[in-house]
Amino acid sequence: MKIIVMAGGTGSRLWPVSRSLQPKQFLSLVDERTMLQSTLCRAVPLTDELPLIICNEEHRFIAAEQVREIGMEAEILLEPVGRNTAPAIALSALQSIKGGQDPLLLVLAADHLIEDIKGLWEQVGKAKHIAEAGSLVTFGIVPSKPETGYGYIRCGDQIQEGYAVSEFIEKPDLDVAQEYLSKGGYLWNSGMFLFKASRYLEELGKFRPDILDICEASLKQTTTDLDFIRIDEDVFKGCPDQSIDYAIMEKTSAAVVMPLDAEWSDVGSWSSLWDVLPKDVQGNVLRGDVIAHKTENSLIDASSRLVATVGVKDAVIIETPDVVLVADRYQVQDVKRIVEKLKLLERSEVELHRKVYRPWGRYDSIDSGDRYQVKHLTVNPGGKLSLQMHHHRAEHWIVVSGTAKVYRDDKILLLTENESIYIPAGSIHSLENPGKIPLELIEVQSGSYLGEDDIVRIQDDYGRVVV
């Protein structure tokens, strides 16, 4: 069996913590591990095969670093553009059958919470022989309440430990959801699957041969770059955007649903996060520097400063260094509407945090004005920025701690704490941490244009585009 971890998506309903360049699957929302790391840790004991993570091109370094942090290895297949789950799983299946193999694929979302891990393992074990026999198994969550935020699956005739899928149902209103709960025989659609790679490809070829053809063609030009598997971008861009439910599961006669009661949540909104986190006697989830008075049943998360509340009830207050969100806990599904407005306004807050991660480390944008920008850079031991130049800006680096190896035109210099160097516009330069501890420095940029696209890369150790 091979674990396929779907790590695409943006998690817009968890904005402002989840943003397009660092979405919820790469965040620590419930405990110290990120959602991706928790998914890998719960699934890897099921098989000796390396897991395959499929993620967006722009998230490749975050995914690789988070795998490394938990001491694991994984294949990482990069989607140059997002085309939903049917093509993503097809790419995974095609990659998995290389070399004449035909494994069972356990397809998991990277951003789900499952508290009862043994319960998951038990149901996967029961589903294996059903999938080996040729069925396409999906896992349906036993509902605990009349939920309107999930799609439903109606169970048909019993098939061993599972049920034939009678119908997939879109998200219902509250009255209909209550009826489903009362009648029984309805499960939440979790988006987790188990099937043989060849059976998935067979059914995809039957119902959406156009998707299969494009995925096959895009994998013919596979290249390996560091830890990443790249496909043909030009070919894959032409692939239709469709989910596995619409493409196959609603059409096939081979669909079987396996009930799963394992304390599952997709943690898809701030209210669902409040549901699963421990609360104080007032029903509050308080994280960070928070002082709450006469506050009830609220989620308050402060990441960079004191947040104080008085007389608040059923609220969600999320503070980040650059954004504060205040919402009614019962209306947090509409946070995505704020994200849509931000996109229309072309605001950077929809994409970037103030703190941005790079393969060499990270930077925090401290201050900026019309002709200047100040950043705090952290370069990991062994990390190296690309050899580059800028047309419009000069830079001044001040080392706070650690050792910096600086390449400036034809010179190599070593800088230590409290030393600095000036990099004029047009100068070819790079920065490396040759030491054993993180390198911390302040970067002051000045010039007529300070955008990140004024980076002309000449050489790069991480496979990024160079001139």
Contact 85, 191 (CB under 8 A): yes
Q: Report which of 185, 184, 162, 186 is spatially closest to residue 172, judged by C-alpha positions.
A: 186
Please list the residues that pair with 441 across neighbouring strands.
Answer: 377, 399
Contact 327, 316 (CB under 8 A): yes
Domains of the chain (ranges, CATH numbers): 2-265 (3.90.550.10), 270-336 (no CATH), 355-459 (2.60.120.10)
Centroid of chain to Cα 40: 13
In this predicted structure, what is the pLDDT of residue 216?
96
Taking the C-alpha atoms of residue 231 and residue 111, their distance in angstroms, rounded to an integer, is: 24
> Each residue of 101-157: pLDDT tens digit?
999 999 999 999 999 999 999 999 999 999 999 999 999 999 999 988 899 999 999
In this predicted structure, what is the pLDDT of residue 355?
84
Rounded to 5°, the CA angle 395-358-368 comes to: 40
Please list the residues that pair with 408 across neighbouring strands.
Answer: 411, 429
* 3-class state of residue 320 by DSSP: coil
In this predicted structure, what is the pLDDT of residue 97?
94
Overall residue count recorded for the chain in this entry: 467
H or E stretch at 456: strand 456-459
Which distant-in-sequence residues (6+ apart) come within 8 Å of 360 by Cβ?
379, 380, 383, 384, 385, 433, 462
Please list the residues that pair with 22 across neighbouring strands.
Answer: 19
> Each residue of 61-73: pLDDT tens digit?
899 989 999 999 9
pTM over 0.75: yes
In this predicted structure, what is the pLDDT of residue 463?
75
In this predicted structure, what is the pLDDT of residue 467?
60
In this predicted structure, what is the pLDDT of residue 453?
86
In this predicted structure, what is the pLDDT of residue 151?
94
Q: Which two tokens stand for residue 417?
A: 């704490």
Q: Which two tokens stand for residue 397?
A: 């680096």
Taking the C-alpha atoms of residue 95 and residue 77, their distance in angstroms, rounded to an integer, is: 9
For 103, 147, 172, 344, 461, the CA distances from 93, given in Å and listed in that order, are 9, 32, 32, 37, 30
In this predicted structure, what is the pLDDT of residue 330?
94
Low-confidence ranges of the chain (pLDDT < 50): none
Contact 211, 100 (CB under 8 A): no
Taking the C-alpha atoms of residue 295 and residue 315, their distance in angstroms, rounded to an integer, is: 9
Taking the C-alpha atoms of residue 409 and residue 406, their distance in angstroms, rounded to an integer, is: 10
Q: Looking only at Cα atoms, what is the longest distance across the chain?
A: 76
Positive or negative: CA dihedral 250, 256, 261, 265: negative
Q: Which two tokens stand for residue 190?
A: 């979790």
In this predicted structure, what is the pLDDT of residue 63?
93
In this predicted structure, what is the pLDDT of residue 447?
95
Which distant-in-sequence residues (6+ apart) come within 8 Å of 410 by Cβ?
none
